[in-house]
Structure formats: structure tokens, C-alpha cells
């Protein structure tokens, strides 16, 4: 009964193990482990085949045959156990770069294994000859092979227990009991059960169940534990990244490097913990960040341990760590040049590897360490920091006693690079926001300057004046002005092409030139005609804005001189509208448009060609404006236009200038509500400026 149970245990174990092997063989994360497990299963099945041949008397039951079968079962069981344990530890051995060390340990076992298998083979040959000759050989013929089997089994098991058991304990072998159990089983259970004594079949069955449970533990139960560990690591990675994001967002810009430094030290500590042996860990590292088109080390705190430059430095052995760090901080790698120019200087070995890293966006190992660094550095690896398929930096790691990066170290460094990418991205965003805030502050100052130089009131006897300006951006290119003269008053309105700060600067230059010319003429006890004033301002804009600043802006403008209700004017701007109180009609003054060149383009412009004049009576209203109001568009891309302005002016002509300004503003805003205002976030597409001048009396 026990013998039948023993034989039945073979297919039961294989049926139990086979589905797990079938599942893991398709999963790439198991590597070559399933192949080794398959060999262990074949050795186990072969041992079962020997036992079945004995049970069903497929081979004669002579003493020699029984001993030969026992030897083969010992060899097959040892092979199955060793192959099983190797399949379990194979990936860890490979990842720890201990394959060569393990091969050396296994070579120590080769004489014992050869002795065991050779003796078993000799016994098999003798058993076959005995069966063919139908005679029993004497004990002296099989005594020597039997002794060889026993010695080989004991030596193989002993070396397996001692050398393999102690092989990188705690690194490769993390559990003691499988080796102890299988070793004792190989020394005691297998030889005794192989003799055919029924009392040991129970132990044999327990050994085979142990084989099955070992497979189950490693390839099923341990897999769930591994998945839980992976999930916990993923959660920890997300938590660390969230904490980093929170730190970098809330830290002052000048302290961002401290956050990076803290992350740097934590990540290196994690990588060091993953090193198989402490002496094989990372001994130096440096963080390069992309600033503009350069890869640089921004702070000395972005270095750790002993680092060398990415070029040959013959004096490296004479330099202290501080001197080397200073060298690193001074280095600059132009990324565009790295990608477009092939490096011909062999001393600049780092440039070609940096280029490979940038192009592949994958870690690059520097293969040939220069002679000047040999004995100091054994390994250099470049890890890219990538954001949206763009390299924003890199991490360079150094080792002085090992030639490769362990897989767990690699994972830690890749995680660090990913986190660094997020942090760098936030740092760029913060720097851009600070720059925006600075520019916004400067734009606010420019806006205040522009609005503060506009006249706040118009003290012209016999006239009431109201004006308004609404810019499309923070700084506009429109301007209106008033300067009192000895016998009258000068009025001006203008529009610089475009809008924004450059246009605002040209408008300021125009204002300064306008006031300067009027005051200079007053000092000479004369008054300039609008045409003369137009020419002077044009000369100033050509000299300063065109020639010195190099701006391509130009300006439209009209200058008016008022005296006793009579207006003379010159310039090239927009059609002025004049409301006649006596007739209740609106007239267009065409002389204010395009009868001379624009300001700031050519010094040969002559304002006299645009000179004109008109008079205003009591109650008349003059409206001057820039093109922003008449070109404002509705939802159907129709312009507000001059006719609508004339209608509003005719409707409100008897109102005060302030009321007329407000009526025009309300009307154009209502018109453009579904057009320009909707398209430009509540702003008009261009600056809107107007002056409403009403004659109240003589």
C-alpha cells in the first residue's frame, strides 16, 4: 500500500506543479526561471519513471539492478532539488551579478556529481550485462560502483549544503529551511527508500510533497506577496511624489535647490539600500539641469560623494573633492551643439555619451573609462531626466568598486529621475510665474505712467471737454493731449500701430515731443502752426523711435490749434465728426484723413499738405477718436463704423461731453458683446480712445 502511495505521488505532484509552470512560462517578469523549473520537473518525472519500472518489474529485480536504480534515483532527486532551488534564485543571482560566482561554486561539486552519475552508469551497465548473460556477478564487481555512488551522493549533498547554502546568504538565499530539508532528505531519505524498504516510503512521499509545496510557495504564494510589495512601493512612490510637489510648490523660489538636494540625498540613500553589497554601491552622483540650451550643475549641493568631469582631466589625482566640484559647476554642455556637431576630441568623451542619452532618452553607460580615472572610477552612468519627450536634465552616477548598476538600484534611480522631471517642471513654472509677475509689475508701472501723463482736466475757456481711453492690453498705443498756448490751445490725438509696450513707448515719445515743441516755441514768443508741430514731432519720432530704438512702429495723429472758436489742424488720422447744434446734424471733417504721411516713417513728411480749418459755434460738438472704436466688430464680423458714431452723436448732441462719451462707450460695448469682447476675454481688439469737445460760449 505504501509503495503504491509512493508511486501515485509522482503524477499527483506533477499535476499540481504543471499548471503553475504553464502560467508563469508566458510572463516575461519571470525571465528564464520557467525553463529551469521545467528541467527540475523532468528530473523529478525521471525519478518517478525509475520507481515505476521497478514496481511494474519492467527491469529484473536483481541486487545489482536495485542498487543501480537507487543510484539513479539519488542523482535524479538531487538534480530535481538543485534545479528547483536554482529556478527560484536564478533571477536574483543574475540581478545581483553573481552568476560567475555561482558557476565557480558549482564547479566544486562537479567531481562529486561525475562520481555519482558515473558510478550509477557503471552499475546500470553491469546490471544489463548480468541480465543478458543470465548470471549473477559477485559482490566485488558492484562493490566499487556502490561505494562510488555513496561517496558521490555524500560529497554532492555536503557541498550543496555547505557551499551553496552559504552562497551570498541573505542576498541570494533568504530562507534557510529549504536547503536544510532537502539536504537531509538527500542524505537520509533517498538512499534508504531506494533500497526498497517500505518503512521509508512515507518519508519519500513527504519529500515529494515538499517539492510541490516549495513550488507553490515560490511561484504562487510568494507572487501574491510580491504583488502586494509592488503595490505598496507604488503607493509609496506616489506619496513621495505628492510630498515633493507640495514642497516645491510652497517653497520660496530661492530655496527650491534645497528641496532638490533633500530629494537627491533620500533617493541616493534608497539606491544604496538596494545595493547587493555596500561596497558595490554608488560613491558619487551629480545632477545636471537644462537651463536655456545648456546642461549645467546649478548648485554645489547638486553633487554627492566623489565625482569627476565628463572629460579627461590629467590632474584629477592631485585635486580635492571641493576643487572637482568647482570644475563640475563651471562646465557647460550646449545641447544644440551636442546634437548637431560630432565630437572629434577624444578627451571630451562625455559629449558623445550625452548625445546618445539625449537621442535615446534612456540611461547610457560610459563604456571606456579614461586611463586618468582608472583606479578611481570603475563606472559612470548617465540617467536622463525627461519631460514630455524633452530632456530637461540628467543624473550622473559613479562607482569606484563595481562595474554595473543593480536592477533595484536602477529602479530607484529611474524613480528619482521621474520625480526630478516633475520638480524641474514645477521649478520652471515658478520661474516663469515670477517673471510674469515681474513683467506684470513693470507693465502696471508703464500703465500708470501712460495714464498719469494724460490730461486730467481741460481748462479751455468757452469749452467743455471729456476724454476716455480703454486699452486692449496693459499698455496702449493711443494718446490724447492738451497744451495751453499764449493766445489759444493745442489739442492732439494719435494712434500708434499695434498696441502693447512698444506702442506705449512711442506714444510717450510723441507726448514729450509735442510738449517740448510747444514750450520751446513759447520761449521764443511764437506759436507753431499744427503743420509745423506735426513736422517737429515726426522728426523726433524718426530719430528716436526709428533710428535709435529700431522700432518698426508708425503713428497716425492730428494736431489742432484752437483760438476763439476757430480750429486749424494738420496730420493724418481718422475722420473727425462735428455736430451742429443749430442744424441738429453731424458733419464729417474729411481733411483730417491721409493728406500727409504718417508719423515716424520718413523725415520728408510735410504736414502742410494736410492743413485745414473749421469753426465751432455755441452748442457744437467735435468728436475725435481712434480707429479702435469704428473697427470694433460684432458677432457677425461687422464693424461699428462711422455712421453709428454719427447716430449716437446726433442723438446725444445736446448732452454734456461726459454723457456723450459714456453713450458712445455703452453703444460700442453693446455692439461688440458677442464679437470682439467675447473673443478677447472682455477686451476690445484695439485701443479705444475718444475726445468730445463742446463749445459752451464765446
* Whole-number CA gyration radius for the chain: 47
Of 102, 126, 423, whose CA–CA distance to 257 is shortest? Answer: 423
**What is the per-residue DSSP string for 545-558?**
IIIIS-----EEEE
Given the C-alpha cell 446726433, which residue does it identify? Answer: 650
Longest dimension (CA), the chain: 154
Are residues 645 and 623 in contact, defined by beta-carbon separation less than 8 angstroms?
A: yes
Q: Render the burial of 551-573: b for 16+ CB within 10 Å, e for the rest.
A: bebbbbbbbbbbeebebbbbbbb
Q: Strand, coil or helix: what is 618?
A: coil
Separation of alpha carbons 68 and 127, rounded Å: 7
pLDDT of residue 193: 47
3-state helix, strand, coil in the chain (%, to 5): 60, 15, 25
What burial class does residue 232 get, using C-beta atoms within 10 Å of its C-beta: 0-12 exposed, 13-18 middle, 19+ buried? exposed
Rounded alpha-carbon distances, angstroms, from residue 144 to 68, 121, 140, 496: 12, 12, 7, 113
pLDDT of residue 521: 93
Q: What end-to-end distance do the CA atoms of the chain give, in Å? A: 137
Q: What is the 3-state secondary structure (H, E, C) of 301-354?
A: HHEEECCCCCCCCCCHHHCCHHHHHHHHHHCCEEHHHHHHCCCCCCCCHHHHHH
Separation of alpha carbons 554 and 288, rounded Å: 46
- Angle (CA) 253-257-258 rounded to 5° is 105
If the chain, 698 residues long, is cut into consecutive pieces of 10 residues, what is the mean pLDDT of each piece?
71 84 79 84 86 75 68 75 78 66 68 71 67 57 62 65 54 55 54 53 73 78 70 77 81 85 86 75 92 91 92 90 91 89 82 92 91 90 93 94 85 90 88 82 80 90 94 86 94 90 88 94 92 96 90 93 94 96 94 90 93 95 96 94 95 96 96 92 92 90
Q: What is the 3-state secondary structure (H, E, C) of 166-209?
A: CCCECCCECCCHHHHHHHHHHHHHHHHHHCCCHHHHHHHHHHHH
Separation of alpha carbons 50 and 46, rounded Å: 6
Residue 66 cell numbers, joined: 536495485
Residues in the chain: 698
Query: Which residues are 7's β-sheet partners?
Result: none
Q: Render the burial of 670-688: b for 16+ CB within 10 Å, e for the rest.
A: ebbeebbbeeeeebbbbbb
**What is the per-residue DSSP string for 56-100?**
TTSS---HHHHHHHHHHHHHHHHHHHHHHHHHHHHHHHHHTT-HH
Q: How is domain 251-432 classified at the architecture level of CATH? A: 2-Layer Sandwich (3.30)
Which superfamily is assigned to 453-695 in CATH? PPM-type phosphatase domain (3.60.40.10)
**DSSP conformational letter for 401:** S
Are residues 62 and 130 in contact, defined by beta-carbon separation less than 8 angstroms?
A: yes
Amino acid at each position: 500500500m505504501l509503495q503504491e502511495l509512493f508511486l501515485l505521488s509522482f503524477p499527483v505532484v506533477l499535476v499540481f506543479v504543471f499548471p503553475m509552470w504553464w502560467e508563469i512560462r508566458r510572463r516575461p517578469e519571470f525571465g528564464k526561471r520557467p525553463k529551469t523549473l521545467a528541467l527540475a520537473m523532468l528530473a523529478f518525472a525521471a525519478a518517478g519513471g525509475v520507481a515505476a519500472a521497478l514496481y511494474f518489474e519492467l527491469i529484473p529485480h536483481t541486487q545489482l539492478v536495485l542498487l543501480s536504480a537507487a543510484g539513479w534515483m539519488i542523482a535524479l532527486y538531487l538534480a530535481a532539488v538543485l534545479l528547483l532551488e536554482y529556478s527560484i534564485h536564478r533571477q536574483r543571482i543574475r540581478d545581483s551579478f553573481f552568476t560567475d560566482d555561482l558557476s565557480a561554486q558549482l564547479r566544486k561539486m562537479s567531481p562529486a556529481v561525475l562520481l555519482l552519475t558515473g558510478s550509477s552508469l557503471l552499475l546500470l551497465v553491469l546490471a544489463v550485462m548480468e541480465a543478458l548473460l543470465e548470471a549473477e556477478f559477485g559482490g566485488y564487481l558492484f562493490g566499487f560502483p556502490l561505494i562510488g555512488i555513496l561517496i558521490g551522493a555524500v560529497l554532492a549533498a555536503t557541498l550543496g549544503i555547505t557551499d551553496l547554502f552559504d552562497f551570498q546568504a541573505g542576498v541570494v538565499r533568504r530562507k534557510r529551511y529549504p536547503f536544510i530539508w532537502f539536504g537531509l532528505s538527500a542524505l537520509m531519505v533517498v538512499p534508504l527508500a531506494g533500497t526498497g524498504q517500505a518503512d521509508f516510503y512515507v518519508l519519500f512521499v513527504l519529500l515529494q510533497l515538499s517539492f510541490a509545496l516549495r513550488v507553490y510557495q515560490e511561484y504562487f504564494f510568494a507572487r501574491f506577496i510580491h504583488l502586494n510589495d509592488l503595490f505598496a512601493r507604488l503607493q509609496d512612490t506616489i506619496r513621495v511624489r505628492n510630498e515633493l510637489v507640495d514642497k516645491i510648490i510652497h517653497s520660496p523660489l530661492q530655496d527650491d535647490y534645497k528641496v532638490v538636494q533633500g530629494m537627491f540625498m533620500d533617493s541616493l540613500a534608497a539606491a544604496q539600500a538596494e545595493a547587493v553589497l555596500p561596497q558595490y554601491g554608488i560613491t558619487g552622483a551629480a545632477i545636471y539641469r537644462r537651463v536655456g540650451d545648456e546642461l549645467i550643475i546649478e548648485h554645489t549641493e547638486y553633487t554627492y560623494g566623489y565625482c569627476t568631469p565628463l572629460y579627461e582631466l590629467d590632474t584629477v589625482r592631485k585635486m580635492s573633492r571641493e576643487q572637482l566640484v568647482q570644475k563640475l559647476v563651471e562646465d557647460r554642455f550646449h545641447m544644440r551643439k551636442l546634437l548637431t556637431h560630432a565630437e572629434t576630441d577624444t578627451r571630451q568623451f562625455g559629449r558623445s555619451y550625452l548625445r546618445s542619452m539625449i537621442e535615446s532618452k534612456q540611461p547610457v553607460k560610459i563604456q571606456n573609462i579614461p586611463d586618468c580615472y582608472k583606479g578611481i572610477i570603475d563606472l559612470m552612468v548617465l540617467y536622463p531626466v525627461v519631460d514630455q519627450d524633452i530632456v530637461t536634465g540628467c543624473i550622473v552616477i559613479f562607482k569606484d568598486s563595481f562595474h554595473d548598476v543593480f536592477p533595484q538600484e536602477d529602479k530607484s534611480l529611474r524613480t528619482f529621475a521621474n520625480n526630478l522631471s516633475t520638480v524641474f517642471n514645477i521649478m520652471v513654472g515658478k520661474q516663469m510665474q515670477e517673471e510674469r509677475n515681474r513683467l506684470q509689475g513693470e507693465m502696471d508701472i508703464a500703465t500708470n505712467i501712460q495714464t498719469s501723463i494724460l490730461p486730467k482736466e481741460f481748462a479751455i475757456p468757452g469749452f467743455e471737454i471729456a476724454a476716455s481711453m480703454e486699452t486692449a492690453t496693459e499698455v496702449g498705443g493711443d494718446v490724447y493731449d492738451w497744451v495751453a498756448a499764449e493766445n489759444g490751445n493745442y489739442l492732439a490725438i494719435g494712434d500708434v500701430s499695434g498696441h502693447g509696450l512698444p506702442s506705449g513707448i512711442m506714444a510717450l515719445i510723441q507726448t514729450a515731443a509735442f510738449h517740448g515743441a510747444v514750450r520751446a516755441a513759447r520761449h521764443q514768443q511764437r506759436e507753431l502752426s499744427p503743420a509745423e508741430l506735426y513736422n517737429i514731432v515726426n522728426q523726433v519720432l524718426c530719430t528716436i523711435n526709428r533710428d535709435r530704438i529700431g522700432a518698426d512702429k508708425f503713428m497716425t495723429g492730428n494736431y489742432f490749434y484752437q483760438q476763439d472758436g476757430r480750429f486749424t489742424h494738420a496730420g493724418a488720422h481718422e475722420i473727425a465728426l462735428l455736430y451742429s447744434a443749430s442744424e441738429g446734424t453731424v458733419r464729417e471733417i474729411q481733411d483730417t484723413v491721409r493728406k500727409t504721411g504718417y508719423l515716424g516713417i520718413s523725415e520728408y513728411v510735410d504736414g502742410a499738405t494736410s492743413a485745414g480749418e473749421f469753426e465751432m459755434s455755441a452748442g457744437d460738438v467735435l468728436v475725435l477718436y481712434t480707429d479702435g472704436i469704428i473697427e470694433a466688430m460684432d458677432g457677425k464680423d461687422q464693424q461699428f463704423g462711422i455712421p453709428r458714431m454719427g447716430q449716437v452723436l446726433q442723438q446725444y448732441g445736446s448732452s454734456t461731453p461726459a454723457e456723450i462719451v459714456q453713450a458712445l462707450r455703452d453703444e460700442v460695448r453693446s455692439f461688440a458683446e458677442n464679437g470682439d469682447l467675447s473673443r478677447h476675454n472682455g477686451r476690445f481688439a484695439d485701443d479705444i480712445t475718444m475726445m468730445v469737445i463742446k463749445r459752451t460760449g464765446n
